[in-house]
Amino acid sequence: MKISIDRIKKEKEVVLGYEDEQFKNKSLRETTQGPLKIRLVLSLVGNTNVRIKGEIEGNFELVCERCADSFLKYKKIELDEIFELTKEELSDRMVDIDSKIRDVVVMSFPIKILCSENCKGICLGCGVNLNKENCKCNVK
């Protein structure tokens, strides 16, 4: 979604409420199950920055980096950030909201995604998920 810089300038604040499916069924670390619900307020800060305030929420389908099981996690991301407009956005007079939402969502997750803090991972010898069964190969 792109919003005109001139519209933001004229209205002072642009209020948006919509559903976004840019993460649905993608081969990304952060994939959604269903659309994200997005509520935002956009305003200009000076001539080269846009402030985006609001929230993004939805169910994310994630993969644990220890045991490789997929799991669902509901996440509500509140944001109040100022973004510098790119040269392209300034020349086109359009703010690319999708790219900014994508950055916020990706940055809201930890570097290492785990199904739980207590995840035991997989056995390095036989590959069983140690959260679900005991290892029989006795590899330590």
What confidence score (pLDDT) does residue 116 get? 92
Report the chain's terminal Cα–Cα distance, integer Å: 51
Residue 138 pLDDT exceeds 80: no
Question: Which pair of tokens denotes residue 114?
Answer: 């785990």
What confidence score (pLDDT) does residue 27 get? 55
pLDDT single digits (tens) 22-57: 666 655 566 777 788 999 999 999 989 999 999 999
Instruction: Supply the pTM of this predicted model.
Output: 0.76
What confidence score (pLDDT) does residue 140 get? 55
Q: Write out the DSSP string of 13-50.
A: SEEEEEEE-TTBT-SSSSEESSPEEEEEEEEEETTTEE
What confidence score (pLDDT) does residue 1 get? 86
Question: Which pair of tokens denotes residue 84?
Answer: 């510098």
What phi and psi, each to the nearest 5 degrees, are found at residue 29?
-60, -35
What confidence score (pLDDT) does residue 137 get? 81
Distance CA 125, CA 140 (A): 8
pLDDT single digits (tens) 67-107: 999 899 999 999 999 999 999 999 899 999 988 988 898 88
What confidence score (pLDDT) does residue 102 get? 85
pLDDT single digits (tens) 112-133: 999 999 999 999 888 899 999 8
Q: For the chain, which residues make up each domain, given as ranges?
A: 2-107
Residue that is written with structure tokens 């490789």 in the block: 68
